[in-house]
Amino acid sequence: MKKILAVAALGSFIATPALAVQIELTPVMVKDTTALIKGKGFNCPLVKMASAKPATARGNVVKVWCGPDDGTDNVFGDFQYRLTFRPDGGVDVAEWR
Q: CA-to-CA distance for 58 and 70, rounded, in angstroms?
A: 34
Instruction: Please give the C-alpha separations between residue 87 and each of 12, 15, 72, 76, in angstroms, as whole numbers.
Output: 12, 13, 34, 30
**Cα torsion through 78, 27, 60, 91, rounded to 10:** 80
The predicted-structure confidence for 20-64, as pLDDT tens digits, reads as follows 799 999 999 999 999 999 999 999 999 999 999 999 999 999 999
- Structural domain boundaries in the chain: 2-95
Q: What's the whole-model pTM score?
A: 0.79
Residues pairing with 92 in the sheet? 84
